[in-house]
Amino acid sequence: MSPECALVETADIITPLVDDPYTFGRIAAANAISDVYAMGGRPVTAMNLVFFPACSLPGEVLGQIMAGGQSVLQEAGVCLVGGHTVEDDELKYGLSVTGLIAPDAIVRNSTSRPGDVLILTKPLGTGIISTAIKGDMASQASVDEAVRWMTILNRDTARLMQECHATAATDVTGFGLIGHLTEMARGAGVTIRLELAAVPLMSGVAELVVDGMVPAGCYRNRDHYAPLMAAVESPPERLLPLFDPQTSGGFLIALSPEDALRFLELATGRGIYARKIAEVLPLSSRLIEVV
């Protein structure tokens, strides 16, 4: 737009992860907005993108979905300016989002440096819990926790990462934690050492993996990214959550050790979830090392 202001454009559409249409709308909206926050931008406008099976679902369901999405847009200060609806066999909902950012304030996913610390701002497990919901195997506690995380905006996290001078960042979504770590490592030409014991999981996730409640996308991510990593000897079910495709996941934020310490201290005071999970090393034989 100008040397002082640039646009961030993104679009994201998902299928239902929960049974309640209003909650699904909230999750889809938070998920779509997150890409703007991940770059350090401020979302300003959005357009609904709807694929709706009118022959099998009543119009009231669509109204509840869009009401849920609108509630998140209002929370984020985003103006809904229109949208488009397509009749389809499968229900899908998302948004196209426009944000604003100063060109010199863009946070990229490819600019971490050896010596940086990586912080994760939401626990993992939404894909596994969503699969368990479909199989009627998820406890109410796990469902409630997953919904809470998926509807939390990454707005405050984005503000804090800028305040603490993040060197790189990305949100954790469909490629899973390892996939997004690999993108960061490849883009910066570094190796990232991940501490397995430090990776937080949502309640019940480990047990659901043992019960076989693992989405197909998790296995696809593992097959694609495992050859790029070196992992400590561990039962397969312990590593699978690292590949779990997330919806409206948290941020992976690279900061210098001093800035990471400040981020963690300020996050605690502001009620922002944050865990140190990895460090950035000079490039070695593998992009990712799991220890």
pLDDT in tens, 84-143: 999 999 999 999 999 999 999 999 999 999 999 999 999 999 999 999 999 999 999 999
Do 100 and 145 share a domain, yes or no? no
Q: Are 12 and 36 in contact (CB under 8 A)?
A: no
Residues 253-279, mean pLDDT to the nearest whole number: 98
* DSSP secondary structure string for all residues of 216-281: HHHHHHHHHHGGGEEE-S--HHHHGGGGPPPSS--EEEEE-HHHHHHHHHHHHHHT---EEEEEEE
Residue 112 lies in a domain: no
Structure tokens at 256: 């210098």
Contact 167, 253 (CB under 8 A): no
Residues 125 and 25 occupy one common structural domain: no
> Using CA atoms, how far apart are residues 190 and 184, in angstroms rounded to an integer?
8
Domain containing 56 — which CATH number? 3.30.1330.10
Q: Using the CB atoms, write b or e for 71-102: b if 16+ within 10 Å.
A: ebbeebebebeebeeeeeeebbbbbbbbbebe
Q: What is the pLDDT of residue 244?
A: 98
Whether residue 66 is found in the same domain as residue 185: no
Asked whether residue 65 falls in the same domain as residue 194, the answer is: no
Asked, for residue 111, whether it belongs to a domain, the answer is: no
Whether 110 is in a domain gets the answer: no
Q: What is the pLDDT of residue 1?
A: 58
Which pLDDT tens digit goes with each residue over 3-35? Answer: 889 999 999 999 999 999 999 999 999 999 999
What total number of domains does the chain contain?
2
CATH number of the structural domain spanning residue 169:
3.90.650.10
What domain range is 125 assigned to? 117-290
Give phi and psi for 112, each to the nearest 5.
-70, 160
Residue 154 has pLDDT above 90, yes or no: yes
Same domain? For 65 and 125 the reply is no
Asked if 100 and 122 sit in the same domain, the reply is no
Task: Specify whether 67 is located in the same domain as 197.
Answer: no
Whether residues 81 and 125 share a domain: the answer is no
- Residue 183's pLDDT is 97
Residue tagged 């796990």 (tokens): 142
| Residue 100 within any structural domain of the chain | yes
The whole-number average pLDDT for the span 216-242 is: 93
- pLDDT at residue number 236: 80
- Write out the H or E segment, with its range, that includes residue 50: strand 42-52
Q: Are residues 134 and 158 in the same domain?
A: yes
Query: Across residues 151-159, what is the average pLDDT?
Result: 97
Question: Do 194 and 257 belong together in one domain?
Answer: yes
Tell which of 73, 105, 137 closes a domain.
105
- To 10 degrees, what angle do helices 59-76 and 21-38 make? 40
In order of 26, 34, 115, the CA distances from 12 in angstroms are 13, 10, 33
The pair of structure tokens assigned to 216 is 């197909």
200 and 264 within one domain:
yes
Q: Which residue from 178, 191, 164, 174 is spatially nearest to 261, judged by alpha carbons?
A: 164
Task: Tell me how far CA of residue 27 lies from CA of 69, 80, 151, in angstroms.
Answer: 8, 16, 5
The DSSP annotation for 143-178 comes to HHHHHHHHTS-SHHHHHHHHHTT-SEEEE--TTHHH
Pick from 84, 105, 126: which residue ends a domain?
105
Average pLDDT over residues 169-177: 97
Mean confidence (pLDDT) of the chain:
96
Give residue-wise pLDDT tens across range 54-65: 989 999 999 999
Q: Residue 130 falls within a domain, yes or no? A: yes
Question: Does 139 map to a domain?
Answer: yes
Spatial separation of the C-alpha atoms in residues 52 and 192, rounded to whole Å = 42
User: Do 64 and 147 sit in the same domain of this protein?
Assistant: no
Domain termination residue (choose one: 77, 105, 133)? 105
Q: Which residues pair with 12 in a beta bridge?
A: 95
Is 1 a domain residue?
no
* pLDDT score recorded for residue 13: 97
User: Mean pLDDT across the stretch 167-182?
Assistant: 97
pTM of the predicted structure, to 2 decimals:
0.95
Widest CA span in the chain: 57
What pLDDT is attached to residue 3? 80
Of the chain, the percentage scoring pLDDT greater than 70 comes to: 100
